[in-house]
Structure 1
Amino acid sequence: MKLLRVGPLGQEIPAVLDDQGVIRDISSEVDDLAGEHLSASNLARIASLDLSRLPEVSDTTRIGACVGQVGKFICIGLNYADHAAESGADVPPEPVVFNKWTSAICGPNDNVLIPRGSNKTDWEVELGVVIGKAGRYIEEANALDHVAGYCVVNDISEREFQLERSGTWDKGKGCDTFGPIGPWLVTPDEIADPHDLAMWLEVDGKRYQDGSTRTMVYQVPFLISYLSRFMSLQPGDIISTGTPPGVGLGQKPPVYLRSGQSMRLGIEGLGIQTQEVIADPDA
């Protein structure tokens, strides 16, 4: 099942993409794709609906972030061996954990803003994992039972803020619009193996990233179990699991985003994002 949220920013309604590719409004059945509505039982109830009886939504309607009311947006750094190498870093002995602020979340096709003072805004296509069942100290063997679905994440990063301005990575990761998610939240029954998905990203039609989740160092069950040692995981939390090589920082010389450019990125089975890059009008 492919779930999505559509409508103006802050007024999104829940929807499903039916077998014919038609968007169907499910707001009469569920308030939002958030919190308890992401449980396995609620998702099963949505899957049982006769979608042909539900209103169609125009395919020109804005697509918002595929999850609402996100509590935590947790990211894993250097989780692809080949990306660590291009960054000049060793594969970490334990997962590198940082946060994107939830105010960074935006729709998959919304504009990405280059923040004030930025010269090194970069891209990262990543597999997002959305939690559907709360837990602490989750056993790795049971970890996938806590997954509501998967989505595409573009982990936009300002490298100077992240790496050159002292402190943690967070300040370069959480600027407004630095977290496009979606277009869809794809339920696990549609993804045979989250560790065997092609992923790619292009800037102005040039492909920079062309990788696969096969090269992920720490896989999804381990990450869920690991993170749950340090915090409770709640329905609607997003885990962004790292990026393959090909980021702007890794080019020789480095290449960074400029106003007027466009990004297009996707993951096999999870859909495609397209973003225009513009200077922040408040910068």
Structure 2
Amino acid sequence: MKYFVLITSLLTSLTASAQVQLQKLWETDSTQLRTPESVLVDPASSSIYVSNIDGKPWEADGKGFISTLAANGQVQTLKWAEGLNAPKGMGISKGKMYVADITEIAVINVRSGHIERKLKPEGAVNLNDVTVGPNGDVYVTDSGNSRIYHVKGKNVSVYLESPELQRPNGIKFVGDRMFVLTSGSGVFYEVNSDKSLKKLAEGLPSGDGIEPDGTNFFLSRWEGVLHYWYAADGKLVQVLDTRAQKKNCADIGIDQGKKVLYVPTFNGNTVAAYQIP
């Protein structure tokens, strides 16, 4: 019986791995988006938002903006929101979009695209990704100081700081569970309720974005690689590699309803959409 269970588990894992073959749907042209870093799909409206750094990733030059895309990849509004520096991760809570922008968190009215205020976390260095918790609170990683900040209303505090979080980048709440991917050590963690860290996978240098696919996850690496992580056995499978085309794989976004994954190519100045099998 032991061997039967083992063989069945291996066959299930191999079959699942074979099924993760992304089909490319479209890619935006490279003449409009400028250093796209992150994609966010708003499930309430199906709007597709893209943060554009338009310059150096950590330079406060005022050139950053957020675009909106149509479902077919056409740019709807190139500069839906302006007045940013180097915007990266985004999250929407209670009609407001929260954007990580170097040392500030911009709060944008989703209806108008206007920046209502900018929050300044104490000690912030390189704010990177954003997620929204089950109660609507917002959490932001800081790749410069191994911190995760907690935004509640207009108040910002340090939620977690740990030497294990070597340049934390991607962050995602799935239900009441928080997951973090580091770009320094390349480790994928779950943050336990007591704020201890559970290592789920490693070997992900330049780790960037996190998106769930059921109980499994897509994990991107900025250099141009996308992995699929299986929760059942912790197996990592590479499903995309665009390094030869000199295209990065930055902070991915997903449309859970349509099963479409969006990959911002950063220096490639495009966003590519893939159908998830």
Fold equivalence (TM over 0.5): no
The structure richer in strand per residue is 2
TM-score w.r.t. the length of structure 2 is 0.28
TM-score w.r.t. the length of structure 1 is 0.28
The structure richer in helix per residue is 1
